[in-house]
Structure 1
Amino acid sequence: MAQETFAFTSSALRSLRLQRELLEQEDRRRALAREWATRRFLPASPRPPLPPARRPQYCRDPAVHNALYTGDLLRIQSIFKDEITTNLVMEMVSEELVWSPEQGLWVLSPHRQQTSALRIAAGRGFGDCARHLLLRGAEVDAVVGGRAPLHDSVAAPHPDCARLLLAFGADPNVLSAEGAAPLHLCAAPESLPCAELLLAHGARVNLGTRERQVTALHVAARQGLVAHTELYLHHGADPAHRTHQGETPLNAACAAAERPDDAERYYRVAELLLAAGADPGAAGRKDHTPLHNACANGQPRLARLLLHHGADATVPNCAGYTPMDCALHAVEEYRHQHPEETIALLLGHGAGPVHPKVGTKGGAVGGLGGSRPSVTHLFRQMLKFCCRYPPALELVLNAYDRIPPAEGWLGAVPPELWEEHPDFYASVVRMAGQPRRLQHLARCAVRRCLGTRCHAAIPKLALPPPLRCYLQLPLEGLIS
């Protein structure tokens, strides 16, 4: 009996060999996972001295690059068989046109781009290829060409590859060459599962980029990502965190809300940030507050939200511009977004087209004139920004008890617009430089007395409804 042997078929031998390989791969995966868990949860212990740095080896073979970029698993398995091959630096050389000052012309210059096999596989969602590379010894946190594989997988985004890398011990806070963590690259709505994975594996939600100190909440706010913003705030993100330039996430959201199609997303982001305690008056770059940015982008609903939470409608930025100045500058560009609503909101909160302190420092608002300009001169300059849009011009003119002479600004109105609104512009010319009606003067006096309380006090006045409406500067299409 001891002399007997069993004849294994080729298929049986192949099955046994595959089973042995799978067991070895699973043992390696578990060892890597245990090492990562130990590094994360146990107190730091003295580390043994690092081995001498291994000199990187490069692969410039287009056939190898093609196998990686197409996700050819069979070829990848035949090429990458050990730790040395899986950690080769993939280097691509392309020709780029660059300007040569010495020759005075554009010349072709070689441009080298480096990456790793694992970066390519993870960044393109080739999970089976990435798994093979990891099991063959690919360094999961190797920063090659400026990024680690986890950066590429979440930026793509490919949640399955991100989950695989994290299971093999990838550091969720690994920094790129530019100082960005993977969470900073979750900049698209589809990246929400990746952001959830990173936070579940220990990503620091308030970690800032190395140079600018931008957090993941800044990125989500700037991109108008409502679900990301809610997720980060739930995990303890700080809505008051400032970048190196002083920007808060609320500043970033209001500055990025430019297109009408995106208005709802940015409004909801701002709502979440304000509910979490964001300061509506936090001045960021160039002393721009969120209200300055909302008005400059022609966003009346966002401006209303900020004013409701206590934003100051009269505060100037470093150049002396108030939110009203920003709103008037934006009238022509955002005339289809009802800029008159923003102007009416600001007027109801005590704002005026010309800042009352203008000229006290020896300069004009935003460089609109010489030293110590008159308020009338600046008023005319501001009227030039809104004279092409009658509703905005009417509101601005009705905020004052006297209209300045028309020759200083009415020339900016194109003839075709004059023909479209002849009655309105004729009434402006007729009243320019003339005293207004007593009724209008009384309205100006009441609004001046109420100041910043106009929006809340006027609806509560014990007056007939037509008078209350008149005090709120309704649009009539004429100046009387």
Structure 2
Amino acid sequence: MDRDPVNRSQIFLHFEQKQHIMPSQAVKRQGPETFHHALVQGDLALLKSMVGEYHEDVNLLFDICHGEMEWQAKPLAIGISGLWSLEYKRELTSPLCIAASRGYTSCLQYLLQRGAKPNLIPGSRSPLHLACANAYADCTELLLEYGANPRLQTEDGMGPLHLCDSPQSFWCAKLLLKYRADVNQLTEEDQETPLHVAAKQGLHSHAHLYLRYGASVDVMNVHQVSPLSCACASAVELAKQKDYLQVCKLLIAYSANVNSVDTEKRSPLHKASRNASAQLVQLLLTHGADVNAIDYNGCSPLANAIQAAPFKKELEPQRAVQTLLNHGSQRVWPGAFLKVLKSCADSPKTVEVLFNSYQQIQVTEEWMEAVPKEIFQVHRPFYESLFALASGPRSLQHLCRFAARKLFGKQCSTIVPQLPIPKRLHGYLLLEPEDLVY
């Protein structure tokens, strides 16, 4: 590996994390302290003065102390199980690392011209790693031009491409590949490629770039998780659903396996359903995902979507449940519907969609007791209509819907929209919620 050795004898100075040296002090206290100040502030004139006049070594190492509160889990005599204590952690850094991590291009260029080693890793990361992690493309390009190794790994086994994990880092990634970074480089611990990272972060442009450079679309990490599976598992926030949808569409366009499973036998559909990501669920099912796949815990995608409903109300979890049922998902055993009602009471649309997928389920007094009073009051019209069915059968209209859905089977989602009937009836047949049951 192209890594410059660290000479431990070069460690000249301790710094507290919050230490600051004012410019007036710097003039009086020439030495490593002033050198460090020039680097931290990006003061090129002072930097040149320190290197040129005072002959500071451009490969000098700094030993930085970080004061951090740590939990000590040791039992104490007074019966307390632990305490918070201030611990000092030490970290080595170099002039190049400081300049690269802060985006000081002019200082970085001067240091490189004066012989600073671009592949020196004083602590856990090289200057190139830090430039990429902070999305400083100009610094990344300079370091690469001066011989920085685009495949060099951090102390914990990550390459520069793995650290391009933000939208702003796209140009860093592009530069790395231009200088022959390994697009399929694996991290040491998790065996993940840059494509895994891009998928986890919902970075469509990065993923597209890597795939054009030959990234393996179905490479598995140490847990047998593919990039597609990573993207589906990471689509948690409402605000980023479109980003993950774009990434997944791209991966599938490059022939990603929609039915790959991890060590727990969970497929991308299991994970998308667990996140109540209706658009991802639709995308995966449209491209052949197994709607009734069972993981090691005995859960189907539908079971995952139902379990997620109480915690994913902002994502309208009934949409994921509805999509799965319209693609032929096996329903919950009727005898277990009471458990569904207990867990999903605050998501009545989810309850409605699932309830309407059956021809008839007997509503009992236990159902009424399962819904907390405060939730009943918020959704009173729906629950009154549901509990009214305890004394009567479902409507003829619903029975006709059930008969049609049974006839169409797994093709409901494709056949129903083609029927020459009003769109409102399309929605009715596809279990569109109405906030009432009859």
Would you say 1:107 and 2:60 are equivalent positions? Answer: no
| C-alpha contact (below 8 Å) 1:352/1:399 kept by paired residues | no
What secondary structure does 1:331 align onto? helix
Q: 1:89 aligns with which of 39, 50, 61?
A: 61
Would you say 1:65 and 2:65 are equivalent positions? Answer: no
Stretch moving more, 379-388 or 136-145: 379-388
- TM-superposed CA distance for 1:450, in Å, is 3.4
CA distance in 2, matches of 1:102, 1:133: 50
| CA deviation profile, 1:213-247 (whole Å, cap 9, x unmatched) | 11111111111111111111111111101111111
What secondary structure does 1:169 align onto? coil
Equivalent in the alignment of 2:22:
none
- TM-superposed CA distance for 1:52, in Å, is 9.8
Equivalent in the alignment of 2:17:
none
Equivalent in the alignment of 2:383:
425
Which structure 2 residue ranges, 5 or more long, are not aligned?
14-31, 77-81
| C-alpha contact (below 8 Å) 1:255/1:294 kept by paired residues | yes
Which structure 1 residue ranges, 5 or more long, are not aligned?
1-38, 40-49, 355-374
Q: 2:233 aligns with which of 232, 246, 255?
A: 255
| C-alpha contact (below 8 Å) 1:343/1:392 kept by paired residues | yes
Would you say 1:385 and 2:343 are equivalent positions? Answer: yes
CA distance in 1, matches of 2:305, 2:234: 16
Q: Which amino acid letter does the alignment assign opposite residue 78 of structure 1?
A: S
| C-alpha contact (below 8 Å) 1:313/1:346 kept by paired residues | yes
- TM-superposed CA distance for 1:268, in Å, is 0.9
Equivalent in the alignment of 1:475:
433
1:281-430 aligned at under 5 Å gives the runs: 281-284=259-262, 286-354=264-332, 375-430=333-388
Equivalent in the alignment of 1:143:
121
| CA deviation profile, 1:263-314 (whole Å, cap 9, x unmatched) | 1111111111110111122223532222222222222112111111111221
CA distance in 2, matches of 1:97, 1:331: 37
What secondary structure does 1:157 align onto? coil
Q: 1:75 aligns with which of 46, 49, 72?
A: 46
CA change 1:141–1:379 in 2 (3 A) is same
| C-alpha contact (below 8 Å) 2:12/2:62 kept by paired residues | yes
CA distance in 1, matches of 2:296, 2:303: 13
CA distance in 2, matches of 1:296, 1:53: 47
- TM-superposed CA distance for 1:462, in Å, is 7.7
Would you say 1:188 and 2:173 are equivalent positions? Answer: no
Q: Which amino acid letter does the alignment assign opposite residue 88 of structure 1?
A: L
Equivalent in the alignment of 1:197:
175
CA distance in 2, matches of 1:51, 1:425: 70
| C-alpha contact (below 8 Å) 2:119/2:148 kept by paired residues | yes
Would you say 1:211 and 2:189 are equivalent positions? Answer: yes
Q: Which amino acid letter does the alignment assign opposite residue 471 of structure 1?
A: L
TM-score by structure 1 length? 0.78
Stretch moving more, 91-100 or 110-119: 91-100
Q: Which amino acid letter does the alignment assign opposite residue 456 of structure 1?
A: T
Equivalent in the alignment of 1:448:
406
> Of the two, which has the highest radius of gyration?
1
| CA deviation profile, 1:105-164 (whole Å, cap 9, x unmatched) | 433333211111111111111122222222222211111211111001111111111111
What secondary structure does 2:188 align onto? coil
CA distance in 2, matches of 1:53, 1:399: 67
- TM-superposed CA distance for 1:67, in Å, is 1.8
CA distance in 2, matches of 1:462, 1:96: 68
| CA deviation profile, 1:438-465 (whole Å, cap 9, x unmatched) | 5544543443343322212334568898
Q: Which amino acid letter does the alignment assign opposite residue 97 of structure 1?
A: M
| C-alpha contact (below 8 Å) 1:401/1:435 kept by paired residues | no
Tell me how large the CA RMSD over aligned residues is: 2.8
Would you say 1:236 and 2:214 are equivalent positions? Answer: yes
CA distance in 2, matches of 1:220, 1:126: 26
What secondary structure does 2:310 align onto? coil
What secondary structure does 1:154 align onto? helix
What secondary structure does 2:197 align onto? helix
